[in-house]
Amino acid sequence: MYIVTGGAGFIGSALLWKLNSRGVGDILVVDNLGCSEKWKNLVRRDFSEYLRRDAFMDLLEKDDLEKITGPGLSAVIHLGACSSTTEKDADFLMLNNLAYSKKLCLYALRKGARFINASSAATYGDGSCGFDDDPEGLCRLRPLNMYGYSKHLFDRWAWKEGLLARMVSLKFFNVYGPGEEHKGEMRSMAHKAFHQIKASGSIRLFRSDSPDYEDGGQKRDFIYVKDCVEIIWELTQRPELNGIFNVGTGEARSWNDLARAVFKALRLPEKMEYIDMPATLAGKYQNFTQAETGRLRAAGLMRGLHSLEEGVADYVGNYLSRAEPYL
């Protein structure tokens, strides 16, 4: 039995796709579907049980989860969290992204199950302290938003408690791909660009507020969701690999590069428009992110990653351009 929290979400539903492709269907999916369209991410997936997060947490608190999972729990992949970088309710984030994660981590380790946690590149803040995933440097990081801080606090707790030798925490960089329809403003720019271009023939990007970057020249480490779930799968099969790992390509590319890749995939002429950055992002905007991938590469987990152009071409051609853009 596998437990996947956030299993109806973006990376979670892609992970279900990967697990199913490996013949795994004995899965407990934990999520909050509410009135969102996330349920569509589950339609093509095979899983044995679904629980709302509050019902799941109630069973966890009572140590009654084995009523659902049975005694053979293989892995807990904890992808469920509030991932909004603009969320203002700090208490909610501390409860949902930190306290909940701690309890689930301790439960999984107590049951002898593999525990894999979703952290975030948002923990690196403005990048002035670099993007090294060595946990020795955690104390130097200064996240720019409460979401990143909540993820950072979990990583620091796991490090201080000596748990990183027994589990994995993955710092995802800019993930894009099928299954993000429900994410609203938190959708990737690849998704937004596709729909902007289809509607108007152009794409809107932020003007630069730094002399070091041209308009649209701010850079991110974009990684395709299919590559992310391949890495997670490999980690479920290799319990000797533990600690914090950056999940990125190790190559920063600009928003302009991303836009060009979408135009190319659509076989349309390039037309970029540049708009002022919203006041809510002033002083909190990352102009550059690039994963240090030495640990991931040394573990043999970077084989066959999609380039930005390859990933965007697959996403646009095989998913976004179709009526049902799901894996």
Residue type, 324: E
Note whether 13 and 179 are within 8 A (CB): yes
Q: What tokens were used for 228?
A: 């992310």
CA-based torsion, 184, 187, 189, 191: positive or negative: negative
Q: CA-CA distance, 48 to 32, in Å (whole number)?
A: 17
Give the active site residues. 147, 183
Contact criterion met (CB below 8 Å) for 277 and 206: yes
Pairwise CA distance, residues 198 & 289, whole Å: 28
Is 139 in contact with 40 (CB distance < 8 Å)? no
CA atoms within 13 A on the CB side of 160: 9
CB 77 within 8 A of CB 236: yes
